[in-house]
């Protein structure tokens, strides 16, 4: 599987690039983030242990006590051990603990709603492209509008209408804080209730992109000889649409899905902020507001890792759908 090996190599390079950017950023910036952070931590949390200070210096670099290469090695070593330092916001909780608490929320909310949105958009887009020129073309301007609306603003409007005015959904949070987190019925019901509005936000704001892209690709594919041949063969329209037109049209959509994933994740971060949803985006916001550099850096890494992983999955799916990738390597 030469194709697969190339892909894996690419994602390793991308991962390395992200890790390195993460390492260099605080060191390239003016000022000494460690000192700034420590003074803030002392204001809020009392004494800071020498170990915590050292961990911060490894994470963020400071003062040039060690040369850059040595810092880099220590940094990589810490990353491999999952040691991201100590969070200032939730002092003295280690960053890794904060991450493991918030990540599942985001994975479920953003992951599920993104997949739902993609499947919905692609299906509708194929239908609209197939039956173009009729009522369905009226969907295009509507979805264009939805795609142009900022996630967080749509979230605000939805909260205003369904939460504040109609009282159908809770305004903030991921679950009723009176409940114990776990696989209990009441907790899951509460989580679902809290997650619905953020999920609707994400689906509504992202479905238009997939729909428009898939529509255009379907229209292009419909003019291909193999679709005409399929029609001339007297196949049933459903089969012509699904197996001949849509299956080919979805290949570029998958590629743009991978590209847009970062965008979707970004939108979701801000959406979480609106809902104070206990996910990774909200955590990032907390970290930023509290100058919690270790947490910020770790969240960036985790989000990048998640996006890379999702891209890899999409690439694998691509290889399953398109036999040509299995033979010839490369993009």
Within residues 202-221, the interface with other proteins by CB under 8 A covers 216, 219-220
| Binding-site string for other proteins from residue 300 to residue 329, where x marks contact by CB under 8 A and - marks none | x--xx--xx--x---------xxxx--x--
What is the spatial distance between Cα 142 and Cα 226, in angstroms, rounded to a whole number?
31
> Which 16-35 positions form the footprint of other proteins (CB under 8 A)?
17-18, 21, 25-26, 29, 33
The window from 42-50, 94-102, 135-143, 179-187 that contacts other proteins (CB under 8 A) reads: 135-143
One residue of 135, 148, 166, 177 binding other proteins per CB under 8 A:
148
Nearer to other proteins, 179 or 256 (CB): 256
Closer of 14 and 179 to other proteins (Cβ): 14
Residue 186 found at the interface with other proteins (CB under 8 A): no
> 117, 50, 109, 79: which is closest to 298 by C-alpha?
79
Minimum CB distance to other proteins smaller for 80 or for 223: 223
Is 226 a binder of other proteins (CB under 8 A)? Answer: yes
From the CB of 70, what's the least distance to other proteins, in Å? 22
* 73, 119, 259, 313: residue in contact with other proteins (rule CB under 8 A): 259
- Nearer of residues 140 and 179 to other proteins, judged by Cβ: 140
> Binding other proteins by CB under 8 A: which of 267, 278, 279, 294?
267
């Amino acid at each position: 599987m030469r194709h697969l090996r190339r892909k894996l190599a690419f994602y390793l390079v991308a991962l390395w690039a992200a890790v390195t950017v993460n390492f260099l950023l605080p060191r390239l910036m003016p000022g000494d983030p460690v000192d700034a952070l420590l003074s803030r931590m002392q204001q809020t949390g009392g004494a800071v242990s020498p170990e915590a200070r050292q961990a911060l210096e490894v994470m963020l670099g400071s003062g040039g006590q060690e040369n850059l290469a040595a810092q880099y090695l220590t940094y990589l070593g810490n990353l491999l051990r999952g040691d991201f330092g100590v969070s200032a916001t939730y002092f003295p909780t280690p960053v890794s603990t904060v991450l493991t608490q918030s990540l599942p929320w985001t994975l479920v909310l953003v992951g599920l709603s993104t997949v739902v949105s993609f499947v919905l958009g692609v299906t509708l887009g194929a239908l609209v492209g197939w039956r173009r020129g009729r009522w369905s073309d009226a969907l295009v301007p509507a979805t264009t509008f939805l795609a142009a609306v900022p996630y967080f603003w749509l979230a605000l409007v939805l909260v205003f209408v369904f939460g504040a005015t109609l009282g159908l959904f809770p305004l903030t949070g991921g679950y009723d804080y009176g409940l114990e987190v776990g696989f209990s019925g009441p907790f899951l019901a509460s989580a679902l209730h809290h997650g619905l509005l953020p999920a609707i936000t994400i689906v509504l704001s992202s479905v238009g992109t997939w729909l428009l892209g898939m529509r255009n690709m379907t229209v292009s594919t419909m003019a291909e000889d193999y679709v005409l041949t399929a029609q001339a063969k007297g196949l049933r329209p459903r089969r012509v649409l699904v197996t001949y037109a849509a299956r080919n049209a979805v290949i570029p959509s998958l590629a743009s899905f991978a590209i847009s994933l970062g965008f979707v994740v970004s939108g979701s971060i801000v959406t979480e902020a609106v809902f104070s949803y206990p996910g990774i985006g909200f955590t990032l916001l907390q970290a930023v507001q509290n100058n919690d550099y270790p947490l910020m850096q770790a969240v960036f890494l985790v989000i990048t890792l998640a996006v890379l992983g999702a891209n890899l999955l999409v690439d694998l799916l691509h290889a399953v759908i398109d036999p040509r990738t299995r033979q010839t390597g490369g993009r």
